[in-house]
Amino acid sequence: MLLNTIIISITDRENQVHELETPTDMGLSIMELCKSYELPVEGTCGGMALCASCHVYVLSEHDLHEPSDDELAMLDSAFFVKPNSRLGCQIKITEALDGLKLKLAPVST
């Protein structure tokens, strides 16, 4: 059986665009996808919405689920936050995200 896959496009901090093919039936998050392609996303807290190292900007018009209170609280204390900011670890990959375009937020050190 073929895996269902979609394409997600991620612009890194050097403005290189990466078209990442990803399965939709493995419960992966955007943070895990970035790590699996070795994009510079730390995922320090392991996806608990506690570190903002997976901060991304959503560039396409996809209808993402509303951020949880935990995600909003973390974004509240993160740097370089914009109206289209999300935490990559809180976005689960589903078929509805085919063609999603994201950009990695700058690292705050």
Interaction site with ligand FES (CB under 6 A) = 31, 43-45, 47, 49-54, 74, 87, 89
Closest approach, Cβ 68 to ligand FES, in A, equals: 11
Closest approach, Cβ 24 to ligand FES, in A, equals: 20
Closest approach, Cβ 77 to ligand FES, in A, equals: 11
Alpha carbon separation from 34 to 1, 20, 31, 75, 76 (Å, rounded): 25, 9, 5, 19, 23
Interatomic CA distance for residues 105 and 34, integer angstroms? 13
50 vs 59, which CB is nearer to ligand FES?
50
Helix residue ranges, H only, the chain: 30-36, 69-77
